[in-house]
């Protein structure tokens, strides 16, 4: 198993990256960290991560899914990234796991993969607007799985989110 962990180049949410990455590693799942560019990415509360791939260089056929990390940097850098949205669409079309936490479920809505799907998001006026515009059925729970799509609403849900992703991978 191999997953893309997508993060913003700055202001990604530390726990939403570190906790799932550790849980995936313990489960024997390989992760590749990707961002808008290759290099060091900075978390909101001090963590750093090395993005070894840019979204534009990813081949969906090489992965079992994608996990998009949240944080304020998601809205600033990822919501408008066409390469990330194309990757999300390709994974969805191929029946792979597509997961996002915090503000990042809005990316799934913007990519057009949440229409008619149950999902959750960290609630901000902008994120709720994008989720509704994308046709998501917002559910007020910390982690929501709808088929191969997993969403979570923030850092407190990071462990349950990672476990839900692993469960979706085994479907």
In this prediction, what percent of the chain has a pLDDT beyond 90? 99
Half-sphere exposure of residue 151: CA atoms within 13 angstroms, side-chain side: 28
Write out pLDDT tens, residues 122-134: 999 999 999 999 9
In this prediction, what percent of the chain has a pLDDT beyond 70? 100
Distances (CA, A) of 98 to 24, 33, 45, 95, 113: 15, 15, 26, 9, 9
Write out pLDDT tens, residues 66-89: 999 999 999 999 999 999 999 999
Write out pLDDT tens, residues 98-118: 999 999 999 999 999 999 999
Beta bridge partners of 144: 151
State how beta strands 97-101 and 39-43 pair: unpaired
Mean pLDDT of all residues belonging to the chain: 98
Write out pLDDT tens, residues 7-42: 999 999 999 999 999 999 999 999 999 999 999 999
pTM of the model: 0.97
Residue 111, Cα to own-chain centre: how many angstroms? 12
Of 48, 4, 47, 46, whose CA–CA distance to 24 is shortest?
4
Binned at pLDDT 50, 70 and 90, residue 171 comes out as confident
CATH code reported for the domain at 2-169: 3.40.50.880
Residue 167: the pLDDT is 98
Query: Residue ranges per domain, the chain?
Result: 2-169
């Amino acid at each position: 198993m191999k997953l893309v962990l997508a993060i913003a180049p700055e202001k990604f949410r530390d726990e939403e990256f570190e906790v799932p990455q550790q849980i995936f590693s313990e489960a024997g799942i390989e992760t590749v960290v990707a961002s808008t560019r290759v290099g060091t990415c900075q978390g909101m509360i001090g963590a750093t991560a090395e993005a070894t791939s840019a979204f534009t260089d990813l081949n969906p056929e090489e992965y079992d899914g994608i996990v998009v990390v949240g944080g304020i940097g998601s809205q600033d850098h990822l919501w408008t990234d066409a390469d990330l949205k194309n990757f999300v669409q390709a994974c969805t079309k191929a029946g792979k796991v597509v997961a996002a936490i915090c503000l990042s479920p809005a990316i799934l809505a913007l990519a057009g993969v949440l229409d008619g799907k149950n999902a959750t998001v960290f609630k901000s006026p902008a994120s709720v607007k994008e989720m509704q515009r994308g046709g998501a059925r917002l559910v007020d729970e910390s982690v929501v799985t709808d088929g191969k799509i997993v969403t979570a609403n923030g850092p407190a849900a990071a462990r349950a989110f990672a476990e839900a992703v692993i469960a979706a991978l085994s479907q």
